[in-house]
Amino acid sequence: MGAQRVVIGVDSSTQSAKALAVDVETGEVVGQGRAGHTVSGTGGARESDPRQWWSAFAEAVAATGWADRAEAVSVGGQQHGLVTLDADGAPVRPALLWNDVRSAPQAARLVEERGAQWWAERVGSVPGASFTAAKWAWLRENEPEAAAATAQVRLPHDFLTERLTGEGTTDRGDASGTAWWTGEGYDPEILAALGLTERQLPRVLAPGEAAGKVRAGGPLREGALVAPGTGDNMAAALGLGLAPGTPVLSLGTSGTVYAVTRGRPQDPSGTVAGFADALGGWLPLACTLNCTLAVDRVAALLGRDREDVEPGGSAVVLPYLDGERTPNLPYAAGLFHGVRHDTTAGQLLQAAYDGAAYSLLAALDDVLRAGGEPADDGQPLLLIGGGARGNAWQQTVRRLSGRPVQVPRAQELVALGAAAQAASLLTGEAPDQVARRWGTASGPVLDPLPRDTETLDRLALTLRQAAPLLGR
């Protein structure tokens, strides 16, 4: 028998770095590690120090016990974040994260200048506040000295990959969240309008092309192969070995709903972002800013455990504590409505789950349609992310979707997808094929429940009627 071959996959997400050491042959997780990040900012601001991502990465990787032996590594990271580096490669300022909504006016201006249809056709997405282009426009306007000091612009996963290899690289999945990459290359017209040049951006690797090798002095074995990495949602799609048309709902800091599609999506309404996946296909996706953290915050305000929900009542909660992206309400705050004397704390908490799941489920068919895949209500919805472990989340999704829900036993699908990318460099297989061989998507399928149309209608009506309160 040959020696055991192990790779490391990392998820550098909003709240923490999570690393898995995985046996290439069997997919068995042989070691894991986790280290937290700090997100700072009040109001609409959300920032993190990229140097802290790097130390959390090193800590998480070391905790797997395989850092000095793993043959290859890959990094999946939170999408969109603007990392600005000076001429020496040091961060000019903290990174502006995907959920920083201060860039909402700049996003609105970008869309106003050229029209939503133009953006959807040109880059697949209508840029909202989360997109890197809007963040760069915010920086130029609000901190011109920082923009002027920026020699290189990176995304979170690019930053970590470059620290490993010394090469400025990215991949098509993460590049598609910038709003300055067309699906074929960087768009010179958009870059010129933003005062950026291609030389400031990383090289976009082809799917399966190695980013390089680990340099000496880092947290991993020198010479280990480094796979391209990608955005966290693209990595999770790889980690599930996702076939075209299978819908996924991810419940984490962000809520996302997406599918791999063969067709290039374009949604001029802006609800669905037309991302690329990490292979040669597409990943239409809708994303909310308020998901597990918002619901946990409501539970804490009510003094309840997160599982302590009760059915019934007339309360509606729109848990838009961070502003919201789907629907596009960056200036909104949370709203409690329909509360009566007999409303219980458990019903209010359930209403917060309902409000957080509502827009994601409402966007599910749009996601499939945008990529030209048929919507089939009988097909199981794959439920992943930290929230997927919670019973209240599972029951909420079953009740509001009316679909069968499959909960993969494997956790940390972003890190697993990154590990599959790393393994594919060693075996020559496609990364999604590796994940299918590892059986990462398998898990119990929960039967569908009758769709709770009464709650869905109440949420839709409240959203419409509350529009003046949720706008600017």
Ligand X SMILES: Nc1ncnc2c1ncn2[C@@H]1O[C@H](COP(=O)(O)OP(=O)(O)O)[C@@H](O)[C@H]1O
Ligand Y SMILES: O=C(CO)[C@@H](O)[C@H](O)COP(=O)(O)O
- For ligand X, which residue of 150, 253, 261, 350 counts as binding (CB under 6 A)? 253
432: partner contacted, choices ligand X, ligand Y, none (Cβ within 5-8 A by kind): none
Of residues 13, 106, 161, 462, which one binds ligand X by CB under 6 A? 13
Closest CA to 265 of 249, 242, 248, 282: 282
| Comparison of 66 and 131: residue with beta carbon closer to ligand Y | 131
Candidates 32, 64, 79, 106: give the one binding ligand Y (CB under 6 A): 79
Q: Among 78, 170, 246, 290, which residue interacts with ligand Y (rule: CB under 6 A)?
A: 78
| Alpha-carbon span 60 to 365, nearest angstrom | 37
Binding residue for ligand X, selected from 34, 46, 93, 306, defined by CB under 6 A: 306
Give Cα 39 distance to the centre of its chain: 16
H or E element, residue 274: strand 273-276
> What residues numbered 139-178 form the site for ligand Y, per CB under 6 A?
177
Closest of 10, 69, 64 to residue 33, by C-alpha: 64
Binding mask 369-398 for ligand X (x = CB under 6 A): ----------------xxx-xx--x-----
| DSSP label of 351 | H
Does residue 64 belong to the site contacting ligand X (CB under 6 A)? no
427 burial (CB, 10 Å; 0-12 / 13-18 / 19+) is middle
Pairing of the two strands 95-96 and 47-48: antiparallel
Q: What are the phi and psi torsion angles at 273 (to 5°)?
A: -85, 135
345-370 helix and 391-401 helix, angle to the nearest 10 degrees? 60
Which CB atom, from 13 or from 130, has the smaller least distance to ligand X?
A: 13
98 binds, among ligand X, ligand Y, none (CB under 5 to 8 A by kind): ligand Y
CA separation for the pair 28, 23 (Å, rounded): 5
Choose the contact partner of 347 out of ligand Y, ligand X, none; CB within 5 to 8 A by kind.
none
Does 252 sit near ligand X (CB under 6 A)?
A: yes
292 binds ligand X (CB under 6 A): yes
Please state, as a whole number, how many other Cβ atoms lie within 10 Å of the Cβ of residue 409: 10
Can you list the alpha helix ranges (DSSP code H) found in 240-308? Answer: 292-302
- Residue 12 interface partner, choices ligand Y, ligand X, none, CB cut-off 5-8 Å depending on type: none
Shortest reach from residue 393's CB to ligand Y, in Å: 14
Rounded to a whole number of angstroms, the minimum distance from the CB of residue 275 to ligand Y is 7
Q: Per rule CB under 6 A, is residue 417 in the interface with ligand Y?
A: no
**Count of beta carbons in the 10 Å neighbourhood of residue 101:** 25
For residues 216-235, which are near ligand Y according to CB under 6 A? 231-233
67 with 421: CB under 8 angstroms? no
Selection from ligand X, ligand Y, none that 292 binds (CB < 5 to 8 A by kind) is: ligand X
State the binding partner of 371 from ligand X, ligand Y, none, CB within 5 to 8 A by kind.
Answer: none
The C-alpha atoms of residue 187 and residue 194 are separated, in whole angstroms, by 11
Q: Which of 6, 10, 14, 220 binds ligand X (CB under 6 A)?
A: 14
Q: Find out whether 37 and 52 touch, Cβ atoms under 8 Å.
A: yes
Q: What φ, ψ does residue 202 adopt, rounded to 5°?
A: -75, 155
115 in helix, strand or coil? coil
The site partner of 79 among ligand X, ligand Y, none (C-beta below 5 to 8 Å per kind) is: ligand Y
Please identify, using beta-carbon distances, which residue of 256 and 266 lies nearer to ligand Y: 256
Q: Is 169 in the site for ligand X (CB under 6 A)?
A: no
Nearest to residue 245, comparing CAs of 271, 263, 272? Answer: 263
Q: Choose the catalytic residue: 171, 187, 232, 277.
A: 232
The string of DSSP letters for 15-57 reads SEEEEEEEETTT--EEEEEEEE---B-STT--EE-HHHHHHHH
In the range 82-121, which residues lie near ligand Y by CB under 6 A?
A: 98
Minimum separation from the CB atom of position 452 to ligand Y (A)? 26
64 binding ligand Y? (CB under 6 A): no
Alpha-carbon distance of 92 to 376, in angstroms, equals 48
**Stretch of 7-15, 23-31, 184-192, 395-403 lying at the interface with ligand X (CB under 6 A):** 7-15
Q: Is 23 a catalytic residue?
A: no
**Euclidean distance between CA atoms 342 and 330, whole angstroms:** 32
Site track 246-285 with ligand Y (rule: CB under 6 A), x = hit? ------xxx-x----------------x-----------x
> Taking CB under 6 A as the rule, does residue 14 contact ligand Y?
yes
| Calpha distance 92→154 (Å, rounded) | 12
By a kind-dependent CB cut-off of 5 to 8 A, residue 306 interacts, out of ligand Y, ligand X, none, with ligand X
**Which whole-number Å values give the CA distances from 355 to 277, 317, 393, in the listed order?**
28, 6, 12
The SS3 call for residue 154 is strand
The interface partner of residue 230, options being ligand X, ligand Y, none and the CB cut-off 5 to 8 Å by kind, is none
Residue 123 CB, nearest distance to ligand Y (Å)? 14
Binding site for ligand X (CB under 6 A): 13-16, 252-253, 292-293, 296, 306, 385-387, 389-390, 393
Using CB under 6 A, list all residues that contact ligand Y: 13-14, 78-80, 98, 130, 177, 231-233, 252-254, 256, 273, 285, 287
Would you please indicate which residues are annotated as catalytic (active-site) residues? 232
